[in-house]
Structure formats: structure tokens, C-alpha cells
Amino acid sequence: MTTLSTLWQPASGCGDACRPGDAPRARTWTAGFRLAGMALVMLAGIPAVALLGGPAVRWLARTLLAALGVNLVQRGPVPRPGSLLVANHISWIDILVLIAVSPVRLVAKHDVRGWPGIGATAGRSGTIFIDRTRPRDLPATVEEVAGALRSGRSVAAFPEGTTFCGAEHGRFRPALFQAAIDAGAPVVPTSITYDSTEAAFIGRDTLVDSLLRVARVRRLTITVITAPALRPMPGADRKALARAAERSMGGHGYRLAA
């Protein structure tokens, strides 16, 4: 029987077996250089974010990805301000990717707030933190997202509710789609694909383990494809809107869940 808890805290069937470990490796010195570069960028970037806000956040995200050796490819129409971007979720790197490609406020799990560097950056960029252990807080979160959309700020969310390996995906939970309906905001389905499953943040992964593993990959290309916006009518059904967003991503490397 499906319970409110399982709906609100979805579980991924992906685990360590999803990462075969056969990706070409970078030299040890390259991995070390990348990690040192990220550390230096964070030291320089966090004060800049505190002083300059949004533009510095986007610069920081792009620079961190470059330091990590990520090749970021962006395709599709540029979302207009005040859009709800809904993306599949593979890794913590998705957070940097979405900030790098578009000026957005993120919806992220509350655990991210405590992550060194990333948590502080996310907080200063206006991230809306969501606590999936407290389902009663959901209406307030939906209203906060709707308020941001009404004010002309774009918001990015991961409606799967957890991370998957990329070959497998979860269904989009419909709750946050209500914010777009309430605000009369366009919904932009956003597909994120990686050319290596080594970046997937799944199973019993920790941030440190994932960071070390990604730094050791010789090359990592992440492709972000934004689909044409969906424009919900007043009173639209959020479940139907969530399914429409999934179907819109079906042609961009996103295999629909059963």
C-alpha cells in the first residue's frame, strides 16, 4: 500500500552496481589539480557571492564546473524569467549545472544546506530548501515557489524527489507543479544527461566520495536540453501537467519510468 511517506520520500532503486567503474581515468595529478582548483574557486567565490549575489553565483557555478573538468553543453530555448524548470536528478552536480545555464532559484533538500561551500552558496542564491521528513510543510513550500514565480524569478526543481543513475528515472511528483498553476507560470521540462554514470550520486554515496570519483574521470560531458515551455491553464490538473512534462523529455535521453 502506498503511504504519504513513500510518496513524499521516494526511494531510488539505483545503487553502486549502476556505476561499472570502467570510465577512462584521469592521471592522479590531474584529479588533485581539479580538487585544488575547486577549493581555490570556493575560497574566492563565496565572498563574491555574499557581496554581489546572483551574477556571482552563476559565475561561481560555471567556474566550479570548469575546475572539475566538466564540459557543459546547453541546447534548447532559453527559459523566460518566471519559469518553473523541472529536471531529472542524477547528481549533486545538477545543482551547479542549473545555476550555470539559467538564473534560477533552486528547490533543494534541506540536507544541502549543511554541505561545505555548496550549502552556503545555495543559501545565498535564494535556494528554497525542502524537508521531505515534514510533509505538512509542503503547502508552504509550494506557496513560496509560487511567490517566486509571480515575482518574475525562475525556479528549478527536481520532481523525481531523489537521484537516479540516468539510465533509470523516477516519476515526477506533481506537488510543485501546483506552484506553476497557481502563479500562471510556464513549465520548462529540462533534461540533464551525463556521458558517464560515475557522476551519479546514488546508493550510500557521500559528497566527498562522489567528488573524488568525479575528479578521477578523464572527461565528463553534461548536456542540458530545455524543451518548449508548457503553459498550464488556470485550474489545470497538476498530475496531468507532471505527466506532460515527462513526455516532453522523452525524446531527450529521458526514458519514461513504468
Residues 6+ apart with CB under 8 A from 28: none
Which residues in 109-141 are b (16+ Cβ under 10 Å) and which e? eeebeeeebbbbbbebbbbbbbebeeeeebeeb
pLDDT surpassing 90 at residue 152: yes
* Residue 145 pLDDT: 95
Lowest-confidence range among 66-80, 101-115, 144-158, 183-197?
101-115
Set of cell numbers at residue 225: 536540453
**Number of residues that make up the chain:** 258
For residue 22, the model assigns a pLDDT of 77
Residues 69/34, Cβ–Cβ less than 8 Å = yes
User: Is the pLDDT reported for residue 236 higher than 90?
Assistant: yes
CB within 8 Å of 36: residues ≥ 6 apart:
none
C-beta neighbour count of 223 within 10 angstroms: 17
pLDDT computed for residue 178 by the predictor: 95
Q: Determine the residue type at 89.
A: H
CA dihedral (120, 189, 183, 77) in degrees, to 10, reads 90
- Is pLDDT at 7 greater than 60 in this prediction? no
Q: pLDDT at position 1, please?
A: 35
Please tell me which residue, 171 or 187, carries the higher pLDDT value.
187
pLDDT tens readout for residues 22-41? 788 889 999 999 999 999 98
Does pLDDT of 136 surpass 70? yes
Q: Taking all residues of the chain, what is their mean pLDDT, rounded to a whole number?
A: 84
pLDDT value at position 226?
A: 94
Give the C-alpha separation, 187 to 198, whole Å.
30
Query: pTM value?
Result: 0.87
Over 70: is that where the pLDDT of 19 sits? yes
Contact in structure between 92 and 222 (CB atoms under 8 Å): no
Q: What is the pLDDT of residue 2?
A: 40
Sign, CA torsion 67/72/78/82: negative
* Cβ-proximal residues to 60 (8 Å cutoff; 6+ apart), any chain: 41, 42, 45, 46, 48, 49, 121
Q: Which of 55-64, 180-189, 240-249 has the lowest mean pLDDT?
A: 55-64
SS3 state of residue 131:
coil
Task: Say what percent of the chain tops pLDDT 90.
Answer: 48
Give pLDDT tens digits for 66-125. 999 999 999 999 999 999 999 999 998 998 999 999 889 999 877 776 666 666 666 666
